Structure formats: structure tokens, C-alpha cells
Structure 1
Amino acid sequence: MSTIAEIELPAKEFALRTALERTSNAEFDVVRVAAHDSDHVMPYLWVSADDMDALDSALREDRSVEELTLIEDLDDERLYRMHWVDQIHVVIHILVEEQATILNLHGKDDRWRLRILFPDRDSLSATYDFCQDTGLSIDVRNIYEISDTRHGLYGLTEEQHETLMMALEGGYYDVPRESTADDLADNLSISHQAVSERLRRGHRSLVKNALAVSPNDGRD
């Protein structure tokens, strides 16, 4: 069964170390990454910082970066395509050796957080062993299995998925609303408080796992 894992690595042991260290409030959000061979990977990533020009200079001087290309400039953030050629052994291992998929990759302050879809639990274990053997300080923050339905991909429990789908189909999200939390509670035979908690936690999981990933995410 496929497994999703959230892991963290110190910034000093990963790509873009220099850019993170040299730029105030630098933040990297990788939207796509592919490994073309065993020597480099090509990510597309959004970047932001207090001084965008200083960040651009730091990226161009970072030894882990080659072939830096600015794709989009939105003033307060920029989209780049680049080649990573240094401190990327774990990414190569994940993508090439384990045939896994990196769903999210986020760098900020002194950490990188990766959210990875592994083919099975053994692939995750092999990646953990690889990091241990190569001296990488891997921290596995969360692990969960993908269920037979798609909701597991977004970190939803079966109860949260059931409640969200019932809310959608019952018009809870329509404007104006066609059903209320009390209606959901009656249909599910649970309390109003339980419905509110399922919706809140379900919404949080969807936003966190479908839209964003941050090293400072809290946990309920």
C-alpha cells in the first residue's frame, strides 16, 4: 500500500543552503521537481524574501544551482527554473531509486520539509536507511497509509471525508446555504460539536496537503 511521509532535513544538508543563509526571510516553495539523471534535478520553485534582488544574487552564487532561469516576477515573489547539482543525493534516491513522488518541498529558515508519496512502506524505510548511511539528519514527522479511496492522499480520515462530502452534496458550501451543521449532525447521528471538529480538521488537512506546506505547521 502506498505511503505518504512528511520528513524534515536541516538546510545545511540540502540544496540552496547558501541562499537561505545569506537572505533575510528567504522562503522556497517547490511546485515541481524531476530527476533527469543521477547528477542533477530540475525544480520549478516560487521564492520570496525581504530583498528579492539580494535573493536573486544569492541564488546565482549558490554552488548547488546551475542554469538559473527567471520564469515569472510578481514583485514580492518570483518563479524560477533551475538545476540543482549539489547536496541532492536524497532527492535522487527518492525519485530514481525508490520511484517515489515528491508532493511538496518547502524550505525556510534552517529546515526543508518534504512530503513524499512512496510506493510502499519499504521504500520509506530504504530512504530512512539511505539518509542514516550517508550522514543526513532526517526527521520523519508524520506517516500515513493511502487508503483505497483518494481522500487518503490529502491526509483525511474516513470520517472527515464522509462529513466533507455530505456537506458538499447537501449544499452546506452553497451561497446561500442549503443545509446547516445541525443538519449534518442529524444525518450523521453525531453531535454539532463533532461535526464542527470534523469540518475544521478536514479543511485544515485539505489546505495543508493540497495547497501549502510549511516547516512551521502546527498539529492538533
Structure 2
Amino acid sequence: MSTIAELELAANEFALAETLASHPEIEFEVVRMAAHDRDHVMPYIRVSGATFEGLTDSLDGDPSVDELRLLDDLEDERLYRMHWVSDIQTVLHMVLDQGATVVEMHGRGDRWFLRVLFPDREALSATHDFCTENDLTFTIRNIHDLQGSVGRGEFGLTREQYEALVRAAERGYFDVPRETTMSDLAAEMGVSQQALSERLRRGHKALINSALRVEKSPLEQ
């Protein structure tokens, strides 16, 4: 039975450790990642934060990073492509040895958060054992078995993303013209507009990846 696991990794044991420590206010989101061998993985990373001062220099000097390229530079967001060449044992084990797919991955400050689709519980347990044997932090925050899940689990949605999407649809946020605003929805749900926007965006991404994309995942190519 396929399983979605929500995981946390210690930033100081993973790629970009020095960069995250130098820029704790910046969030790093992996929007696409390819892993072909045990020498490196190639992620596309969206970064967001109040300031990017010194970020490119930090990435250039980070020992886990090679072949850095800035692809897009907006006022409050950047997109980089790079190679991770060290401290990536956990992801390589999940993807190459256990046949897992990283659905979501973002890091900030002292930790990385991942949502990973494992082919079964045994693959998740094997990854946990691998990290324990190699003294690597591997914290399991939640597990969803896809079979028998209702609504959100089968599409890789978190509870917050599922509730945000359903509430937005019920209130006519996706109608043309819209029957409610982001501000009103956020107030109704008791969250900030930024938090609600993020849940909707990531929820849309999860739905597209699970329900609409029929080609191979970049991790499987």
C-alpha cells in the first residue's frame, strides 16, 4: 500500500546547511528535483524572503552546492538551479534505493520538511533504519496510507490544504466572477492571507502532480 509520509530532517545534516544557517529568514522550496546517480541531485529551488542580500554569495560558497544558476529574479522571489553534491544520503536512499518520490520539500532555519510518497510502509521503515544506522536525523511527523483515504490523502494533500481548497470552492472563490475574496476567506478560517495563499498554491500543485500529470516524475526519468 502506497504511503505518504511527512518528515523532518535536521538542516545541519543535509544540503544547504551553511546557507540556511546564514539566512534563517529565507524559505527554500524545491519545486523540481532529479536524482540519476549517487554523485548528485539537481534541484530547482524557489526562495522567498524579505531580503536576498548575500544569498548568491552564500550559495556559491556552500560546499554542498555546485553548478549554481539563477534562473529568475523577482522582487520577493528567486528561482535557482543547482547541483547538490554532498550531505544528500537520505534523499538518495529514499529515491534510488526505496523507489520513493519527493512530493514536497522546503527548508528554513534549522530544518527541512518533506512529504514523500513511499511504495509501501516497508520502504519507509527501511529509510528510517538507514538514517538510524548512519546517525542521521529522520523524524516522522505524519503518515497517510493512500488506500481507503478520503478526499485529501489520495491526492497528496495536507489537512490544511484540503480544508482551504474545499472552503474556497464552497464560498465561490474560484467562480467567475468571484463571490468572496482572499481576505474574507482568511478571516473566516482564522489564518493570514499569506498562509491561506500558500495552502491554496501548494494544494493546487499537489492536485496537478497527482491527478493531471501522466508523464514520469523527474525523479523517475
> TM bucket by the smaller chain?
0.7 to 0.9
Q: Deviations over 1:39-95 (max 9, x none)?
A: 100000111344314011100100000000111111222100000001000111111
Where does residue 219 of structure 2 map in the other structure? none
Secondary structure of the equivalent of 1:99?
coil
Secondary structure of the equivalent of 1:103?
strand
AA aligned to 1:63 is P
Distance change >3 Å, CA 148–CA 50, structure 1 → 2: same
Contact 1:46 1:78 in 2 (8 A): yes
Secondary structure of the equivalent of 2:54?
helix
Task: Determine what percentage of the aligned residue pairs are the same residue.
Answer: 48
Distance change >3 Å, CA 141–CA 175, structure 1 → 2: same
Shift of 1:154: 3.0
Where does residue 145 of structure 1 map in the other structure? 145
Distance change >3 Å, CA 175–CA 113, structure 1 → 2: same
Distance change >3 Å, CA 15–CA 211, structure 1 → 2: farther
Task: Supply the distance in 1 between the matched residues of 2:44 and 2:128 (Cα, whole angstroms).
Answer: 25
User: Is structure 2 residue 54 aligned with structure 1 residue 42?
Assistant: no
Where does residue 58 of structure 1 map in the other structure? 58
Task: Supply the distance in 1 between the matched residues of 2:63 and 2:174 (Cα, whole angstroms).
Answer: 48
Distance change >3 Å, CA 124–CA 172, structure 1 → 2: same
Where does residue 156 of structure 2 map in the other structure? 154
Contact 1:24 1:49 in 2 (8 A): no
User: Is structure 2 residue 210 aligned with structure 1 residue 210?
Assistant: no
Shift of 1:22: 1.4
Q: Deviations over 1:80-116 (max 9, x none)?
A: 0000001000111111001110001100011100100
Secondary structure of the equivalent of 2:99?
coil
TM-score, normalised with respect to structure 1: 0.72
Task: Supply the distance in 1 between the matched residues of 2:173 and 2:46 (Cα, whole angstroms).
Answer: 34
Where does residue 134 of structure 1 map in the other structure? 134
Contact 2:6 2:140 in 1 (8 A): yes
Contact 1:34 1:95 in 2 (8 A): no
Task: Supply the distance in 2 between the matched residues of 1:21 and 1:60 (Cα, whole angstroms).
Answer: 15
Task: Supply the distance in 1 between the matched residues of 2:17 and 2:140 (Cα, whole angstroms).
Answer: 20
Task: Supply the distance in 2 between the matched residues of 1:36 and 1:99 (Cα, whole angstroms).
Answer: 12
Task: Supply the distance in 2 between the matched residues of 1:208 and 1:8 (Cα, whole angstroms).
Answer: 21
Task: Supply the distance in 2 between the matched residues of 1:176 and 1:80 (Cα, whole angstroms).
Answer: 35
Contact 1:24 1:51 in 2 (8 A): no
Distance change >3 Å, CA 138–CA 211, structure 1 → 2: farther
Quote the RMSD (CA, aligned, Å): 3.4
Task: Supply the distance in 1 between the matched residues of 2:59 and 2:173 (Cα, whole angstroms).
Answer: 46
Contact 2:157 2:203 in 1 (8 A): no
Instruction: Map 1:1-220 onto structure 2 (within 5 A).
Output: 1-147=1-147, 151-152=152-153, 153-155=155-157, 164=166, 174=175, 207=200, 210=203
